[in-house]
Structure 1
């Protein structure tokens, strides 16, 4: 405690960093940021931008960057992203902003990219599933897993899926995103011996076209898989990250790394 106070007094530690070290979270006008989630859970807290004002997103991102040297932001709008760019150009010019559709990763100058000896395959049935897959990909990339992205192999032309079977089997775990009736994850899970995490996507026509048909179909899958909520790319990426971390630890322990 004394060392922490002395660090604040001599300016080597900010009050925000000290609060994070003491409580595990930081309280600001935009809410509380869980700075210790990665240490506690293996996955950093993400800032869900939808429904927040641009200043709120910026404030939370600044707190994340100050306490963890990175920020993950999901469902970001163009207006919010422009506010981030403008703010960090002045307050953190050495920070790097990476945007993947509606998902953003901000990296501080001192951020050290981790590395996991594990591969996550991320698969989409069609182009419309891309933004959800992007969200999952950012989470896995941030954790240090190798990501192998396979896009647009929906079952309407099954040869597109069968052409990629060997590649899918090489992954340590798979995230498969699909809308409409959600058939692709079920088909893939019947072809591989790796864990499959299915993400129903809110695309399609009429009844059930908001992702509910895909969700219902995947919950009734004959093949063994896990299902996250509709459009829950972050959750799928987090689950895959936990699997990748366990695989990495096992490979390190047995000396095969």
Structure 2
């Protein structure tokens, strides 16, 4: 409940159009909703500008269903990440607006009218194998009203593909670069654009890739200025951060 709604509730009590018991029901969930197994942060959007996001991995279908059932009663857009297809089917009847993004493994419910930003976020991948992580970043940025431009499979093994798209990438306000293997693409992009670059290492690669560790270390030791790094396979974190930068 934001300040305007709280003020309206108090006014309704004073006028007699809402009784005390009804008002107390609203106030019970003022800061967070206690579901025993989860405590849903109702104030997060007031504090940070973004509502709480559901991390689906590790949650049972029943837990996810109960969390979403409560959050649907609010006015904020809903994003759940790392949701498996069979789990998404368990909650699909909760709202006609539920959309499951299979490649990203994300579930979204849009409660607010879309108001896309004038500026765009570029999401760039080294290879096709990086698409699930990249799409997680895209879906995250888009549900929070950012315009996203996708530039996929433009890795350093065929660098001409990147140069063919460079003019369009440079028009975007922030660039998310998703890469596995040795993770070289963010350094290359960082040396070619005048925008902040968010590097996302993925677990895609052969044995010495160490499930993304080699890409992570390569990105952390990048010689290009203006490159920041999120954790391995953390498309959500990159999309969220890119959205914040895009709206500054």
Asked if 1:230 is matched to 2:232, the reply is: yes
Question: In the TM superposition, what is the alpha-carbon distance from 1:29 to its structure 2 partner?
Answer: 3.5
Normalising by structure 2, report the TM-score: 0.87
In structure 1, the partner of 2:159 is 158
Post-superposition Cα deviations, 1:30-62, rounded to whole Å, max 9, x if no partner, equal 401122222211222211111110011111112
In structure 1, the partner of 2:101 is 99
C-alpha distance in 2 between matches for 1:230 and 1:223 = 19
Asked if 1:39 is matched to 2:46, the reply is: yes
Provide runs of 4+ in structure 1 moved above 6 Å: 10-14
Asked if 1:205 is matched to 2:212, the reply is: no
C-alpha distance in 2 between matches for 1:159 and 1:180 = 19
C-alpha distance in 2 between matches for 1:168 and 1:19 = 47
Root mean square deviation, CA, Å: 2.4
Aligned with 1:55 (options 62, 65, 69): 62
Question: In the TM superposition, what is the alpha-carbon distance from 1:112 to its structure 2 partner?
Answer: 2.3
Question: In the TM superposition, what is the alpha-carbon distance from 1:98 to its structure 2 partner?
Answer: 4.1
In structure 2, the partner of 1:252 is none
- Residue segments in structure 2 that go unaligned for 5+ positions in a row: 1-5
Question: In the TM superposition, what is the alpha-carbon distance from 1:14 to its structure 2 partner?
Answer: 9.9
Task: Please give the residue correspondences for 1:61-210 in structure 2 after superposition, counting only pairs within 5 Å.
Answer: 61-86=68-93, 88=94, 92=95, 94-101=96-103, 102-108=105-111, 111-210=112-211
Question: In the TM superposition, what is the alpha-carbon distance from 1:67 to its structure 2 partner?
Answer: 2.1
CA pair 66-240 structure 1, distance change in 2 beyond 3 A: same
C-alpha distance in 2 between matches for 1:39 and 1:116 = 20
In structure 2, the partner of 1:251 is none
CA pair 65-14 structure 1, distance change in 2 beyond 3 A: farther
Residues matched between the structures, number: 236
CA pair 142-128 structure 1, distance change in 2 beyond 3 A: same
CA pair 10-72 structure 1, distance change in 2 beyond 3 A: farther
C-alpha distance in 1 between matches for 2:79 and 2:18 = 26
